[in-house]
Chains A and B, each alone.
Chain A
């Protein structure tokens, strides 16, 4: 029974782990028989959330990122990505499309993509304590 299955990963905020994290989630989600498009959306959203931890949560030093995936009933993939970094002082501003505190190599579209690619998306943050992104994607149940 897929429902109830879960996995938890912890890794340091090294940028090589962006590819590792999205691939690990894609492998875990494979048992839910996703379409290629669903898998692409999930990989993209995970990549955005983990990149945010690496670029923004731990700007000066490496820190830990925790990633938890669960399969909920009705073929829903539940993903929580958590850091204990600097936190986001103004969430509303951070979620605005094209807003970024990163450099010219950032587009400010991370939150927008997570919101539009996932069925539900929530972010909570406490300055100095860290940020948690909680997102869900309901996958089509194929006949």
Chain B
């Protein structure tokens, strides 16, 4: 698991990298939860630009981040999603539950 994160004006951006499967999903879930708890951002952006593969474990990562943000009445946005991850998110219907933006300026 490798990710970078930064906080700017109440907006937490978490940039995920590589392949997200069951092997690394739990670490991502815990790391994102810890960042959200530490910074209580108004907006959390999960950036998938450098994610090359996602399976249903990636759905769990998004659902958990959504729960964390709902608890602090914040908003979650996904961005930079490539074709393969997008197909998984669409098949699961998660694209209807969370806002997806092509790019966040």
Contacts and interface: CB of A to CB of B under 8 A. Distances in A.
Interface centre among A51, A54, A109 (most CB of B within 10 A): A109
Given A41-B87, A55-B22, A104 B64 contact: yes
Contacts of A112: 91-92
A48 interface: yes
A36 B19 contact: no
B84 A104 contact: no
Contacts of A47: 21, 53, 55
Interface string B68-92: 0000000000000001100110011
Interface in A74-127: 97, 104-110, 112-113, 116-117
16 contacts: A18-B22, A18-B23, A19-B23, A40-B87, A47-B53, A51-B55, A51-B56, A55-B22, A106-B22, A106-B56, A106-B57, A107-B57, A107-B60, A109-B59, A110-B55, A117-B91
